Amino acid sequence: MTNLHEVISGYRTNFQKQRLMTMRTAKRIKDSCYWFYFQYLLITCCIDMEPWEQIVVHTIFATTFTMLVFTAYVFIPAHLRLAFRFFLQLWIK
């Protein structure tokens, strides 16, 4: 995708360089997402399953992951606060 001015002059403007870098970064991110999804399919053996089985496994995994994140969000700050109070109480005495 080069224009005639770029071919004749042999240089790109800053906008063209920035656009090219953005396109390369977007392609790299897209390729990384595809690679991580493929790794997920290989690890969970979903690549050998039928589509309805994949949906069941994805649903179970998403539900478990969501519950884990929610539990961590709710309970870890409370536990850290209690541990901080306990160690602060030991330090003061």
pLDDT score of 8: 57
CA distance 16 to 54: 42
Residue 57 near residue 46, CB atoms below 8 Å: yes
The model carries a pTM of: 0.57
Per-residue pLDDT tens over the stretch 64-92: 999 999 999 999 999 999 999 999 888 88
Percent of the chain with pLDDT over 90: 48
CA 33 from centre of chain? 8
CA distance 40 to 34: 10
Per-residue pLDDT tens over the stretch 16-29: 777 778 888 888 89
- The answer, yes or no, to whether residue 60 has pLDDT greater than 70, is yes
